[in-house]
Amino acid sequence: MFKKFIQSKLEKSVKKYFIKHPEVRLVVVAGSVGKTSTKMAIGTVLSQALRVRLHEGNHNSELSAPLAILGIEYPENIRSLGQWRLVFKAIKQRIKQPADVDVIIQELGTDAPGQIPHFGTYLSPDIAVITSVAPEHMEFFKTIEAVAAEELTAANFSKSVLINRDDVAGMFANNITNPNLNTYGTTDMAEYRFEADEYMQIEGTPGAFIAPEWTSGLAATLHVLGEHSTRAAVAAGAVGVKFGLTPEAIATGLAMIRPVSGRMNPLRGVQDTLIIDDSYNSSPLAAASALRTLYQLNVPQKIAILGSMNELGNISPAAHAEVGKLCDPTQLSHLITVGEDAAKYLAPAAKTAGCQVVSVRNAIEAGAYANQLLEPGAALLFKGSQGGIFLEEAVKIVLLSTSDEEKLVRQSPDWLKKKQDLFEGQTFSPMA
């Protein structure tokens, strides 16, 4: 009851804020994969000409999303009435004061059916960006059709919508009733897209940003790795066009986009190796895209460290096996899996495909084993999830500089203690 009361007050406060400040525009980002990277990319582009508010973390749930929209810190103790009094005092001041931003960018998350539609009861976004429809929280959604119905609801309660044409299947189009729709992506099917002059390079990928409003492409350089990272940048450019930014501002913003920690972030490894740190989370769609990126690199050795994908429910065996089938022995020198489902389902499929596979119990073992295998100039992909996998701890073992540990995800004292407790007493014992 207390949480519902607080949630209701927060939602009413958000409504009051936008009534008081109708000039402030709202962009929401929904989807199964890629919300935070897309949100940050949009913020980078829009900040070239506008005052932007966004939360750098993934504050996207019933209580955290309204606070992120209002720019108020989340209380340390959500059960403390005293702390909530201070929160609502700060909210009252925020509503009264002149607007300090031109646009707010907010991601919307869901753990179960009905949560995205509920945001529509108090939000009226100017633009909704839908990043993807892919398996998520399948213990609650059960089917991919249910996931699509949930995520695409954001399109219908917004004034206009941008849909990732490459990662939202056309079969789900009947879920969208909003006629003010455009598409973005990296293929010719998308209205807004990026056409690279050559394959993505770590030092920057030159190409052209294409927008239907323009007669010719805009020369731009991206500093991100992977198709899904490129699509996030394209979404940012598309929002910039719709908000009236100049081509020069958009090109500058696109060039300034950098990977978010744990999301296709290139780092320097020992022995002149390249680490692709994609350890924040994993799903079948994201794992497939990360592997494709690894395969396109021109390096003497490629090693993939893949963790179990969580929250897949009863589709987990098939989903892990499908990722295993994508493991190409002509591309991968070694595959290391971490976690029970990866060992049970992904590893056998990869072995059948002809890969050299070792399954280990945790991230520490994975990092140690990868360190034994790597050759100078190699590329290592770390693709994992949060619950029990934590491949960012494997990344630490092969980092060139300990100073780069601050670029990894989940490095707060609480997270480090949780991971230490998990790994304590476990010793290195690779299982071929």
pLDDT in tens, 228-264: 999 999 999 999 999 999 999 999 999 999 999 999 9
- Report residue 103 as tokens: 């646009």
Higher per-residue confidence, 137 vs 95 = 95
The DSSP secondary-structure symbol of 401 reads -
Per the DSSP assignment, residues forming a β-bridge with 304 are: 335, 381
The 10 Å Cβ neighbour count of residue 22 is 8
The residue assigned the tokens 């072995």 is 351
Q: What is the pLDDT of residue 333?
A: 98
- Of 257, 313, 264, nearest to 111 (Cα)? 313
Please tell me the predicted confidence (pLDDT) of residue 153.
98
pLDDT at 123 over 50: yes
Cβ–Cβ < 8 Å for 359, 324: no
| Confidence (pTM) | 0.92
Q: Which fold has domain 265-423?
A: Protein-Tyrosine Phosphatase; Chain A (3.90.190)
Element (H, E) at 113: none
CA 274 to centroid of chain Cα atoms: 21
- Tell me the average pLDDT across 368-381: 97
Length of the chain: 432
- Percent of the chain past pLDDT 90, that is, above it, reads 88
Q: Which residues of 220-233 are buried (b: 16+ CB within 10 A; e: fewer)?
A: bebbbbbbbbbbbb
Token readout for 3 is: 């949480």
Task: Please name the residues in contact with 210: beta carbons below 8 A apart, sequence gap of 6 or more.
Answer: 192, 193, 194, 195, 217, 218
CB atoms within 10 A of CB 84: 18
- d(C-alpha 6, C-alpha 13), whole Å: 11
- CA 341/CA 155 separation, integer angstroms: 34
430 — pLDDT class (breaks 50, 70, 90): very low
Q: Which residue has the tokens 């300990």?
A: 402
Q: How confident is the model at residue 96 (pLDDT cuts 50, 70, 90)?
A: very high
Q: Distance between CA 209 and CA 427 in Å, rounded?
A: 49
pLDDT exceeds cutoff 60 at 427 = no
pLDDT digits (tens, 9 = 90+) for 81-93: 999 999 999 999 9
| Identical fold between 10-256 and 265-423 | no
Q: Quote the pLDDT of residue 200.
A: 55
Q: Quick check: 192 pLDDT over 80? A: yes
Share of the chain above pLDDT 70, in %: 97
Please determine, looking at this structure, whether the domain spanning 10-256 carries the CATH number 3.30.70.270: no
pLDDT tens per residue, range 24-77? 999 999 999 999 999 999 999 999 999 999 999 889 999 999 999 999 999 988
List the one residue out of 166, 89, 90, 155 whose CA is nearest residue 117: 155
What are the distances in angstroms from CA 337 to CA 200, 279, 351, 365? Answer: 26, 13, 12, 10
Residue 82 backbone dihedrals phi, psi, to 5 degrees: -60, -45
Mean model confidence pLDDT for the chain: 94
The domain ranges of the chain are 10-256, 265-423
